Amino acid sequence: MITNSAFAVEPWVVRERDLDMGTLAQTESVFALSNGHIGMRGNLDEGEPHGLPGTYLNSVYEQRPLPYAEAGYGYPESGQTVVNVTNGKLIRLLVDDEPFEIRYGRLHEHERLLDLRAGTLTRRAHWSAPSGCPVRVTSTRLVSFTQRAVAAIRYEVEALGSPVRIVVQSELVANESLPALSADPRATAVLESPLVMEENVTTEDCAIMIHRTRVSGLSIAAAMQHDVDAPDGTHMDMSGSGDTGRLTVVTRLEPGQRLRLVKLLAYGWSAERSRPAMHDQVMAALAGARSTGWDGLVSEQRAFLDDFWSGADVEIDGDPQVQQAVRFGLFHLLQAGARTEQRPIPAKGLTGPGYDGHTFWDTETFVLPVLSYTYPSAVADALDWRRTTLPQAKDRAKRLGLRGAAFPWRTIHGEECSGYWPAGTAAFHINADIACAVARYVDATHDIEFEREIGLPLLVATARLWRSLGHHDVGGRFRIDGVTGPDEYSALADNNVYTNLMARRNLRAAADATVRHPDGAQQLGVTVDETASWRAAADATYLPFDDRLGVHPQNEGFTEHARWDFAATEPEQYPLMLHFPYFELYRKQVVKQADLVLALYLCGEDFKFEDKVRDFAYYEALTVRDSSLSSAVQSVIAAEIGQLDLAYDYLGEAALMDLDDLEHNTRDGVHIASLAGAWTALVAGFGGMRAGGGRIRFDPRLPDGITRLAFRLCYRGRRLQVVVTADTTTYHLLEGDPLSVMHHGEEFLLGEQPVTLPTPAAATPDCWIRQPRGREPLPRRAGALRRPRP
C-alpha cells in the first residue's frame, strides 16, 4: 500500500524519492503516461523488476469466451480484454557485464518524478554494479499529446568512478509474460501471448514489428528509431528476431563521460488496414517525430499542457496534499481523454489492465463532467465514440426486446461484455448517463454541430429505449421496473429514483433536441407523436417517497427492507461484496455508493433543500463506500447542505484514492473517475458550481483548513477563474465575451473587470449525520471534532 510518504508533497510534481519494491505495481500506475491513444505504465526502463508490465493502445483488445454455469437468453457470449501490446519502453543496460538491476549491486539514489506541467516522467538512479562500478542513469519519457502516435525516451548513462564498458539494448518486445492477477473479479483476465507475429523488420536505424491479435484480428504496428550520442568507437547494431527488435549499443565510458540515446517510438493499430499500410503509417509517424526532435517534442508537450492548465488549473491554499492531488487527477484525466478520437475512455484510462480495460458509466457520469469544463474536445471525442457504437447498442436493444439503443454496461468495442446481468445489462441508467453527458457538453460548449451530428442520434436512441423500458400504470404513472441503479448493493428494483429522474431528463432532452434539429429528427424517423409520448412519460415519471420517514427510498420498497447489521460487521469484512453474497446485500438497506445522493447532485433541481438534507442524512447512515465512485458525490452534497467539514473529509478520500492507494488496487490502474472526483468536490462542492440551460452558477463556501480556492474553467467559449476565500469570491473572465453568472442566487454580468462578492457563511442545518460504524471518512483536519460520536 502506498502511504502518503511514498510521494513528496509538491504542487506540480509527483516525486518518489526511494524505490519501494512493495509499491512497485502501484507506482507504475501512478507514473503511467498516456495521451488517450497510447498508454505506458511507469515500468522501469530495464523492464525488471516490475509489478505489471503494460503498454496499451486504446481499443486494442482480445476477445474471449464468457463462461456461464447456467446459460440464459441474451447473455453475452464473448468478452473483450485489453491487451498488453508491444513494449517499446525497454532499455536494458550492462555495466561491465553486470546487468543494471536495482535488486543487485548498490542503489545509492533513486528518484522518479512525474512533472504535471512538462508531461514527462523522469528517473534518476545512482547505482553501483556488484563489481563496484558506479554509474548514473537518467531517463525521461513522454507520450506525446501533440503527436498522437508517438512516444519518446531520452536515456543517459554516465560513468562515475572508473572507466567502464557499457552495453545498452533498446528493444521492442511483444508477448511479454505477465504475472497472474488476483482472483478478485474486478481484476482483469490474463491473456497469454495474445499477439501473432506478422512482420519483424529492421533497417540500419529502425525496427518495426507488426502483430495481429489472435481472435479479434486487430493489427498492431510498433516502430522505433534512435538518435545516439556516444563517444567515438561506439558500436551499434540493429537486429530483430521472434517477438523482439533490438538496438545494441556497445561503448566504453571514461569517468564523467556519458552515453545519450533518444528513442523515438511510433504505434498504430487497425482492424482494417493492410500490413504494408500499417508499416508505412508508423514509419511516417517516426519521420514526423524525428523531424520534431526530442527537444521539439518536449516543448510541444509543455505548450500543450500550459494551455490546458490555463483553462483548468485549481489552486488550493491550506492543503498542499489536496493541491497536488487535484492537479495529479486533472493530469490523468487529460491523459485518458486528450487523444482518444472515436475511442472510449476506460475506467483505468490506459494505465493498467483493471476491469479488463473496459469503459463504464463512470466516464459519462464522473469523467466527462470535468472535461466538459476543462478540456471539452475530449468530451466530444468520447461521445462520438458512443455514437459509432450505436449499431451494437441497437442490436443489443433488439436482442433484449427493447426499442432504441441499449448501451453496454462494460465494453471496449461497443458490445456488452458484462457476464453478470443483474449488475450489468440491468443497469440501464448508463443510457441516461450518456444522454445527460451529451446535454451537459452541449450546454457547456454550445456546440450545435455536435448536437446535430452526434448528440441527436444518441438522445433519440436512448429516449426510445426509455419509452419502451418503462410503462404507464393504470394510474398513469410512468414506471421503470426491475432495473439496477448506481448502487451495486441493490439490483433489479422498481422505480430507482436516480434512474427515473435521469430517464426523465433523457426523454426531455431528446424531445427538446428534436425541436432544434427538425431535419435530423426527421431523418431518424422521429414523429411529433413520438416526442409527445416522450414528454408524457417524462411528465408522469413516478418518484416514490416514503411519507413515514420523510425520505426518498432509493427505489420502491427500499426503506422497508432490513437495515444491514453494521454493528456486527467487522472492518476486515469490507468491501462487503467480497464477504457476503449479493443475495444478502440486495435485500437489505446498505449502499455501496452514492445512488439517491447522486440524484441529489445531478438532478439537484428536482429536490427541495429540506429533502436533500433529510435524504443525505438517511443515506449517509447506510453508505459504506465500497466503490471509489462515491466519496466525491457525498462531498458535493455535504457541501451543499453546509456540512463543510464532512465534505472536506470526502474530498480528501476522492483526491488521494491513488496517491494513497486507499482501495489497495491502484496496481491495476488509476481510478480515473475518482481522480475526477477531486475536481468535482472542489468545484461543484466547495465552488458550488452548477450549469445548465446556458447558465452557470456558483454557491461557493470553504471548509476550515482551505483558506483560498481558485479554479479555472471553460464555459461556452469563455475561460473563467473563480477565487474563493472565506470572506469573498472574485470572478475573473480570462477570455471571451461577457457572461451572466449567478453567485449564491444573485445574477451579475461578468465582463473584463473582475467582480468580487461576499462569500456567505454556510448555514449548517440541524441534522444528525453519521456513517456506518468504521466507515467514517478519515478526518481531513487532525483534531477536527465537529461530529460527535454516539
Q: Which one of the spans 91-99, 281-289, 480-488, 599-607 is the region binding a second copy (CB under 8 A)? A: 480-488
Q: Does 582 bind a second copy (CB under 8 A)?
A: yes
Q: Does 614 bind a second copy (CB under 8 A)?
A: no
Cβ at position 543, least distance to a second copy in Å: 14
Cβ at position 559, least distance to a second copy in Å: 9
Give residues with Cβ within 8 angstroms of 475, minimum separation 6: none
Q: Does 420 bind a second copy (CB under 8 A)?
A: yes
Q: Which one of the spans 471-479, 629-637, 645-653, 767-775 is the region binding a second copy (CB under 8 A)? A: 471-479
Q: Find how far residue 771's CA is from the centre of its chain.
A: 27
Q: Which is nearer to a second copy, 341 or 481 (CB)?
A: 481
Q: Which is nearer to a second copy, 11 or 185 (CB)?
A: 185
Q: Does 121 bind a second copy (CB under 8 A)?
A: no
Residue of 176, 416, 451, 488 with catalytic role? 488
Contact 7, 19 (CB under 8 A): no
In the numeric block, the cell 509474460 is attached to: 177
Catalytic residue flag (residue 488): yes
Residue from 304, 566, 574, 580 in contact with a second copy (CB under 8 A): 580
Q: Does 418 bind a second copy (CB under 8 A)?
A: yes
> Alpha-carbon distance 317 to 698, whole Å?
19
Binding mask 395-414 for a second copy (x = CB under 8 A): ----xxx-------------
Q: How many residues bind a second copy (CB under 8 A)?
A: 53
Q: Does 79 bind a second copy (CB under 8 A)?
A: yes
> Alpha-carbon distance 733 to 754, whole Å?
7
Q: Does 782 bind a second copy (CB under 8 A)?
A: no
Q: Which is nearer to a second copy, 539 or 560 (CB)?
A: 560
Q: Does 550 bind a second copy (CB under 8 A)?
A: no
Cβ at position 587, least distance to a second copy in Å: 3
> Alpha-carbon distance 305 to 294, whole Å?
17
Q: What sign for the dihedral angle of Cα 654, 656, 659, 661?
A: negative
- Closest C-alpha to 598, from 658, 669, 664, 677: 677
Residue 276: which H helix or E strand, with range? helix 275-312
Q: Which one of the spans 132-140, 304-312, 478-486, 721-729 is the region binding a second copy (CB under 8 A)? A: 478-486
Cβ at position 566, least distance to a second copy in Å: 13
Q: Which one of the spans 11-19, 120-128, 479-487, 766-774 is the region binding a second copy (CB under 8 A)? A: 479-487
**Strand-pair category, 314-317 with 755-758:** unpaired
Q: Which is nearer to a second copy, 44 or 423 (CB)?
A: 423
In the numeric block, the cell 411519507 is attached to: 547
Q: In degrees rounded to 5, what are phi and psi of residue 276?
A: -60, -35
Binding mask 692-731 for a second copy (x = CB under 8 A): ----------------------------------------
Q: Does 584 bind a second copy (CB under 8 A)?
A: yes
Number of neighbouring beta carbons within 10 Å of residue 570: 9
Residue from 481, 512, 611, 663 in contact with a second copy (CB under 8 A): 481
On the 0-12 / 13-18 / 19+ scale of CB atoms within 10 A, 515 is exposed
Residue from 398, 587, 708, 786 in contact with a second copy (CB under 8 A): 587
In the numeric block, the cell 471571451 is attached to: 736
Contact 344, 385 (CB under 8 A): yes
Angle at 408 between CA 407 and CA 409, to 5 degrees: 120
Q: Which one of the spans 338-346, 371-379, 424-432, 704-712 is the region binding a second copy (CB under 8 A)? A: 424-432
Q: Does 446 bind a second copy (CB under 8 A)?
A: no
Q: How many residues does the chain have?
A: 790
Tell me the C-alpha to C-alpha distance, in Å, between residue 350 and each of 30, 297, 554: 11, 21, 34
DSSP 668-709: G---HHHHHHHHIIIIIIIS--EEETTEEEE-----TT--EE
Give strand pairing partners of 478: 472, 541
Contact 131, 112 (CB under 8 A): no
Cβ at position 591, least distance to a second copy in Å: 15
Cβ at position 303, least distance to a second copy in Å: 44
Binders of a second copy in range 197-216 (CB under 8 A): none
> Alpha-carbon distance 209 to 246, whole Å?
11
Cβ at position 219, least distance to a second copy in Å: 28
Q: Does 581 bind a second copy (CB under 8 A)?
A: yes
In the numeric block, the cell 450545435 is attached to: 448
Q: Does 562 bind a second copy (CB under 8 A)?
A: yes
Q: Does 564 bind a second copy (CB under 8 A)?
A: no
Contact 483, 493 (CB under 8 A): yes
Q: Which is nearer to a second copy, 183 or 763 (CB)?
A: 183
- What single letter denotes the amino acid at residue 733? L
Q: Which one of the spans 163-171, 218-226, 326-334, 488-496 is the region binding a second copy (CB under 8 A)? A: 488-496
Q: Which is nearer to a second copy, 529 or 583 (CB)?
A: 583
Strand ranges, E, within 144-205: 150-159, 164-173, 195-202
Binding mask 48-77 for a second copy (x = CB under 8 A): ------------------xxxxxxxxxxx-
Cβ at position 554, least distance to a second copy in Å: 14
Q: In degrees rounded to 5, what are phi and psi of residue 22?
A: -70, -20
Angle at 90 between CA 84 and CA 91, to 5 degrees: 180
In the numeric block, the cell 472492518 is attached to: 571
Interacting residues with a second copy (CB under 8 A) = 66-76, 79, 183, 185, 399-401, 418-426, 471, 473-474, 479, 481-483, 491-492, 494, 548, 556-557, 560-562, 577-584, 586-588
Tell me which residues are annotated as active site. Answer: 488
